[in-house]
A and B are shown apart, each in its own frame.
Chain A
Amino acid sequence: MDHTTRRRARQQWAAWAFLAPVVVYLIVFYAYPLYRNLDLSLHDYTVRSFVQGGARFTGLDNYRAVLHDPSFAPALLHTAVFTLTSLAFQFAIGMALAVFFRQRFRLSGTLRALFLVPWLLPLIVSASTWSWMLNSDSGVVNSVLHTLGLSPINWLTSPSWSLASVTIANIWIGIPFNLVLLHSGLESIPANIEEAAALDGARPWQRFWWITFPLLRPVSAITLLLGLIYTLKVFDIIWIMTRGGPADSSTTLATWSYRLGFGNLLPAFSPGATVGNLLIVLALIFGLIYIRAQRRQNQP
């Protein structure tokens, strides 16, 4: 063996020695819990067999039961409505703010930084604040509606409004993330392209629509896909504000899974894990699309 190959072999050993802790960690704290989850969904676990073992193997019975459960279709629909509405508003508002803040003016940096605060707050803080703001009798939102001569809305306690309420709170939390990503995307577009268009007489809106927006497409795709993956798994906000209620009107796959596993006195771990695994499949599909989009952006 010559010198370079020996050195390279030594480097490989060193590399994997440095990586060993993380690899072990990923196996024990990611792969194994996920395996346990799969195992739960393929057996009929009761509270007793959960502790003592010996649950009956039931194959795909849990999946069949979940797909035929009357809660499944509404939960899937709510997940889709919650996710898509959140994304559309977060992205549109985030984009408008990013374009606005791109023009340097006094305090622009400071104010943009302040926009990050909602994203950094613990979700339970945001969720409980919104709960109180949307309170039917004493909430500030209904008080404003009253001043405007509108009738109050039972934001969190009426089945027709609960999903809208949690979506509004989630949009508020997600705007900063979109703003930061889109703003840094805008910063990477050379200013002279737009200046040239301005000299050619393009109006600001035309410049945005025909030049900036197409150039921003890769960053937009990544922002939307990441937002999609994050929104699919939103659980805290919904659970804290409405617990998925009233009458399941704001139940998504994430809250349904949690309620089955942890939300009742008698936990139903196997169905809970089953719903969870379906959610993982959804997240992974979009995750793979995201990774593809990101690869493409890095190799122009």
Chain B
Amino acid sequence: MTGKRTWWHTPVAIGLTAVMLFPIYWMINVSFTRGQDMRKSPPNWFPVHGTLDGYRAVLDQQLPYLGTSVVVGLGTVALTLILSAPAGYAMAKLRPAGGGVLSFVLLIAQMIPGVIMAMGFYAIYLAVGVVNTVPGLILADSTIAVPFGVLVFTAFMSGIPEELVEAAEIDGAGYLRTFWSIVLPLSRNAIVTVSLFAFLWAWSDFVFASTLDQGGDHQPITLGIYHYIGNNNQEWNAIMATAVVASIPATVLLLAAQRYVTAGVTAGAIKE
């Protein structure tokens, strides 16, 4: 606050972080624990007789689930970008009549619980015949990210100087060209933020997967873990190993793109 450095801050902060991240440590520890040590009392605090059995089970059983999740994640990112980037450009630079109503609708849309959307989707998907399909799941997952995407693109593109856009128009560029060659290349940060969250949300989705893809041939990793637990499986090292693998995208994205994550958390809330 006053910029004074005190020596005890860093150790205390490390302690607090350790407490906060303990469940994650525990997940990793259990993923390496041998089957016979699983119900030991007291439990092993470190993987002393570490085993890779859990990870072997992941390789044997979970790879198709992981593959589906990657496809669903990338599909959701593509769909979200295609829909939200042009909309953000229009909202930020073309002053559409009724734009205020639309951004209001988008804010409201973010608040509708997924469980309820799932029920409506199920009724429609059953009629159309896309229950248990990957495209159906991508469409449903994109509803989590599209309103957020439009709001982030709008906020970001509003910050692009008006002179740049006008200069392009004076040079004879149409709206499409201005969007494609001027605005979009300048919006790299927004593209990264939106893609990152769209991927993470699709990767983490359980509600839509468990309702719309329950009996599908291609199921995402969240259902892989759920089936593991549901089958009254006692091999917690395998369950936790799958959980560790399912956490990799979140961790990698956080390490590689931390400032975009923070930007995304605050974008939806603070800015309009």
A residues with a Cβ closer than 8 A to B are: 11-12, 14-19, 21-23, 25-26, 29-30, 32-37, 40, 50-51, 97, 100-108, 111, 113-126, 128-133, 137-138, 140, 143, 146-147, 172, 175, 177, 180-181, 184-185, 191, 194-195, 198, 204, 207, 219, 222-223, 226, 229, 232-233, 235-236, 240, 254, 257-258, 261-262, 269, 272-273, 276-277, 279-280, 283-284, 286-287, 290-291, 294, 298
**Do the beta carbons of B115 and A12 come within 8 Å of each other?**
no
| Pair B206/A36 contact, Cβ less than 8 Å | no
Contacts between the two chains (Cβ within 8 Å), count: 300
A-side interface mostly: helix
Known: A22-B146, A137-B39. A116 touches B254 (CB 8 A): yes
**Chain A nearest Cβ from B137, distance in angstroms:** 13
| CB nearest neighbor in B for A107 | B10
Would B116 and A276 count as touching, CB distance under 8 A? yes
A177–B264 CA distance with the chains assembled, in angstroms: 11
Q: Are A124 and B254 in contact (CB under 8 A)?
A: no
A157–B124 Cα distance when bound, in Å, is 37
Check B247–A125 contact: CB distance below 8 A: yes
Q: Which residue numbers of B lie inside 8 Å of A, CB to CB?
A: 1-3, 5-6, 9-10, 12-14, 16-17, 20-21, 23-24, 26-27, 30, 38-43, 82-84, 86-87, 89-91, 94-97, 99, 102, 104-109, 111-124, 126, 139-140, 142-143, 146, 150, 175, 179, 200, 203-204, 206-207, 210-211, 214, 221-222, 225-226, 229, 236, 239-240, 243, 246-247, 250-251, 253-254, 258, 261-262, 265-266, 268-270, 272
Assess the B42–A143 pair: CB atoms within 8 A.
yes
Cα of A225 to Cα of B212 in the assembled complex, Å: 30
A279 in contact with B113 given A32-B124, A125-B225, A261-B119 (CB within 8 Å): yes
Q: Is A22 in contact with B87, judged by CB distance below 8 angstroms? A: yes
Contact A122 B21 (CB under 8 A): no
* A/B interface sample: 8 pairs, CB < 8 A: A11-B94, A30-B112, A101-B13, A106-B9, A120-B200, A207-B1, A222-B269, A262-B118
CA distance A147 to B153 in the complex (A): 53
* B113 pairs with A107, CB closer than 8 A: no
A115 with B20, Cβ < 8 A, contacts A123-B206, A198-B2 known:
yes
Identify which of A21, A51, A277 contacts B87 (C-beta below 8 A). A21
The 3 closest A-B pairs by CB, nearest first: A33-B120, A233-B113, A122-B204
* Closest beta carbon of chain B to A53's beta carbon, Å: 9
Q: Is the CB of B206 within 8 A of A240?
A: yes
Q: Contacts A147-B42, A235-B115, A291-B104: A133 and B120 contacting too (C-beta < 8 A)?
A: no
Asked if B115 and A14 sit within 8 Å, CB to CB, the answer is no
Q: Are B126 and A125 in contact, with the CB atoms below 8 A?
A: no
What residues on A are CB-neighbors of B250 within 8 Å? 117, 120-122
Q: Which residues of A contact B42 (CB under 8 A)?
A: 143, 146-147
**B250 nearest CB across to chain A (Å):** 4
Known: A116-B254, A120-B200, A219-B270. A33 touches B113 (CB 8 A): no
Most buried by A among B10, B91, B258, B265: B265
Closest partner residue, chain A, to B30 (CB atom):
A132
Residues from chain B with Cβ under 8 Å of A236 in the complex:
206-207
Q: In the complex, what distance in Å separates the CA atom of A112 from the CA atom of B111?
A: 27
**Min CB–CB distance A38 → chain B (angstroms):** 9
Query: Would A129 and B26 count as touching, CB distance under 8 A?
Result: yes
A245 to B173, CA, bound (A): 62
How far apart are the CA atoms of A215 and B97 in the complex, in Å? Answer: 35
Given that A116-B261, A126-B23 are contacting pairs, would A298 and B111 also be in contact in the complex, using a CB cutoff of 8 Å?
no
Contact B21 A177 (CB under 8 A): no
In the complex, the answer to whether A235 meets B203 with C-beta atoms within 8 Å is no
Docked complex Cα distance between A288 and B94 (Å): 27
Contacts of A140 in B (CB 8 A): 26, 43
A87 nearest CB across to chain B (Å):
15
Q: Are B206 and A232 in contact (CB under 8 A)?
A: no
Residues of B with C-beta under 8 A to A276 = 113, 115-116, 119
Asked if residues B239 and A181 are in contact (CB atoms below 8 Å), the reply is no
On whether the beta carbons of A108 and B94 are closer than 8 Å, the reply is: no
Asked whether A132 and B2 contact (CB < 8 A) given A18-B179, A40-B123, the answer is no
Q: Which residues on the B side are within 8 Å of A30 (C-beta)?
A: 109, 112, 117, 143
Most B CB within 10 A of own CB, among A121, A123, A204, A226: A121
In the complex, what's the smallest C-beta–C-beta distance from B71 to chain A, in angstroms?
A: 16
By a CB distance below 8 angstroms, the chain A residues around B222 are 122, 124
Check A279/B116 contact, CB under 8 A, given A21-B87, A123-B204, A181-B265: yes
Q: Are A184 and B270 in contact (CB under 8 A)?
A: yes
Task: Please report the C-alpha to C-alpha distance between residue A219 and residue B271 in the assembled complex, in whole angstroms.
Answer: 11
Residues in A with CB closer than 8 Å to B95 are 11, 15
Contact A130 B23 (CB under 8 A): yes
How far, in angstroms, from A229 to B112 measured CA to CA in the complex? Answer: 9
Q: Which residues of B contact A118 (CB under 8 A)?
A: 20-21, 23-24
Query: Which among A51, A240, A298 has the highest number of chain B CB atoms within 10 Å?
Result: A240
**Distance in angstroms between the alpha carbons of A60 and B206 in the assembled complex:** 31
Tell me which residues across on chain A come within 8 A of B143, comparing CB atoms.
29-30
Closest chain-A Cβ to B27's Cβ sits at a distance in Å of 4
